[in-house]
Amino acid sequence: MLFLVRMDVNIPHDLPAAQADEIKAREKAYAQQLQRDGRWKNLWRVVGEYANYSLFDVESNDELHTLLSQLPLFPFMKIHVTPLAQHPSAIA
């Protein structure tokens, strides 16, 4: 199942820089692990925002929820999920 996911990050300004850096490092490692195993298909930055659009290919809504909720930045995110289906006019 394919999902387009927008993630907007809002790290509190009073979070100590060292703690924020540690969370971001864990986030990067986890995101790259999911990309390597094929579940996080694409990752695009939104220009001028601390946000991204990502394409996930997972078995179920529950699997996606589990993956997203395990993101180290999850407590600081607003997430919008759009389920995707094949378009009949697509050639790929």
Residue 78 vs residues 44, 54, 62: alpha-carbon distances, Å: 16, 14, 18
DSSP H/E element including 53: strand 51-57
SS3 content of the chain, % helix, strand, coil (to 5): 35, 30, 35
pLDDT one-digit tens code per residue, 44-67: 999 999 999 999 999 999 999 999
Q: Which structure tokens are listed for 30? A: 């986890």
Rounded to an integer, what distance in angstroms lies between the CA atom of residue 47 and that of residue 37? 26
Mean pLDDT of the 33-43 span: 98
Q: How far is CA 76 from the centre of its chain?
A: 12
CATH of domain 2-78: 3.30.70.1060
Mean predicted lDDT score pLDDT of the chain: 97
What pTM was computed for the model?
A: 0.93
Task: Please report the pLDDT score of residue 92 as a whole number.
Answer: 77
Task: Please report the pLDDT score of residue 3 as a whole number.
Answer: 98
